[in-house]
A and B are shown apart, each in its own frame.
Chain A
């Protein structure tokens, strides 16, 4: 029992941290601007949390082992599946992934105070700028399905990373197929 309480506290802390974003940021070393002559650094910027940190924190919230009772973490529940994969240059959800999307739609419908970030990604082939747009198209296609099935517009943030943040490094179909994806990231309320 005690142990359970401790986990809950941990989760709450993570949540707080995720929501406050850059409260504890050493974010200043995220971005360095240098003078042309390269002698020294100047104009250090980089306000704001970087996306990867947010993502990591966010997935800890829902991924903690101690978060007993959550449908999101029950491996037999389709909600535990939060990555949707796509065919090459396609933004259509494959038939076998429909039940996963439906489950998330129903869950978001039942929990209107939950928000998710939809992150669209592509494989590395072709134009980077086109891929950035394709990643967004994928994320929007998931959003549309989720909204058609019960979620509401204000529950979503949509971001595309194009091919810039592969899940798997590599230049073969196995890596590519894992990189063509939309990640559904629950970020609390």
Chain B
């Protein structure tokens, strides 16, 4: 009797298992650039309050994580000004800090906060940027990222990406030995992860809609591949492709009205374009002997890059979004797959197979030159940051899937570390509109 009871208790425990804990990612710089810009970020003055978020740390971590800034250690700060009148630029020049960030945070009621910051050029003694904000306590973290974006854009001339998000798939092996899968979203720094879909079956290929409000992905929840589109705010979702055979590799057109898909409904995996409003399909590729998959749209929406083994081994090709003759794009080595196009349309990131390993490589579409950016040999699923500066990808460390990022020039390497959970298939969101 007793063993039976234990068994049914165990069974019950399975059903009441809590929702899979969200992954907590943390950015670590694993290789940097020696040309990082020295910058002093003075802890923001807090007038008699204890803010629920350490805004200064968020700004500092964001800037440091790019490998392009070298924030001074707090103990090296010569003084702690919170207003321009307290700044003595000569002191900061001695520290060879080129930029200086100061700020203040205050609150009357502990619920709403006033935050202001100023960014100075230390050598000219001039303000480069300065803003004042009013946010609820729950908005302080997002505001930290927003301020980091302003500083980053002011100093580099490129868009900051600290207010963007990452989508990725996680896998855990539960106590019952079964695998559980989740589609999660986090802030760009890995913080604030939340699960948007949980399943006992694999999930694949998340793809952000261009408005950043919806995700398309592949789920095996009904025993085979099926493509869903999910609204992130409401959690509402819809199955858009569940034909016979493979339904996979969703990719949004730049205007968000169409989804390129891989379907094998006619017996062989081909690229199709679906009009989302009515579900109408156009077949783009037609090659009965080959695998055609992993569509990516050109920035003008007129062409589609994709992976095909029509030449015997997987390579990247390009075809008109209305179909027609495909043109081969990648030529180096005998395995190139999983293309992602840079936001300016000038470069293609891909998985490059060589010597039994798989690496992230980037190809200049004008010159055709390819550069291999990673060296671990276990890289997959590259995804461009929306400012085109970094490429996020999945790799393996100590037998577990982790996310990493590399700058497009291959000089800066980041790892988003994670414990106990396999993390893979990252997709970087578009910039906030």
Contact = CB atoms under 8 A, between A and B. Distances in A.
Interface of A: 26, 29-38, 41-43, 45-52, 54, 89, 125-130, 132-134, 136-137, 140, 158-162, 164-165, 171
Given A127-B337, A134-B291, A164-B202, A51 B220 contact: yes
Contact of A136 (B185, B204, B269, B378): B269
B195 A54 contact: no
B235 A35 contact: yes
Contact of B246 (A26, A31, A32, A132): A132
A46 B221 contact: yes
B235 A130 contact: no
B429 to A, nearest CB: 12
Given A38-B194, A46-B199, A51-B201, A29 B15 contact: yes
B307 A127 contact: yes
Contacts of B236: 33, 43
A125 B351 CA distance: 11
B224 A38 contact: no
Interface of B: 15, 19, 22, 185, 194-202, 204-205, 219-225, 230, 232-237, 245-246, 248-249, 262, 264, 267, 269, 291, 293-294, 307, 309, 313-314, 335, 337-338, 351, 353, 358, 378, 380-381, 396, 399, 425
Given A48-B223, A126-B358, A171-B399, A36 B196 contact: yes
A43 B237 contact: yes
B223 A159 contact: yes
B221 A48 contact: yes
B222 A32 contact: no
A133 B194 contact: no
Contacts of B22: 38
A140 B338 CA distance: 23
B115 to A, nearest CB: 22
Contacts of B358: 125-126
B384 to A, nearest CB: 17
A100 to B, nearest CB: 25
Given A33-B197, A50-B200, A132 B396 contact: no
Given A33-B237, A125-B358, A161-B220, A130 B291 contact: yes
B204 A31 contact: no
Nearest to B356: A125
Given A34-B19, A36-B235, 17 more contacts: A30-B200, A31-B219, A31-B221, A32-B19, A33-B230, A43-B234, A43-B236, A45-B221, A51-B224, A89-B313, A130-B291, A130-B337, A132-B246, A136-B245, A159-B223, A161-B202, A161-B220
Question: A34, A43, A48 — which one has the most chain B CB atoms within 10 A of its CB?
Answer: A34
A161 B219 CA distance: 11
Contacts of B245: 136, 158
Question: A37, A134, A164 — which one has the most chain B CB atoms within 10 A of its CB?
Answer: A164
Given A31-B219, A43-B237, A36 B205 contact: no
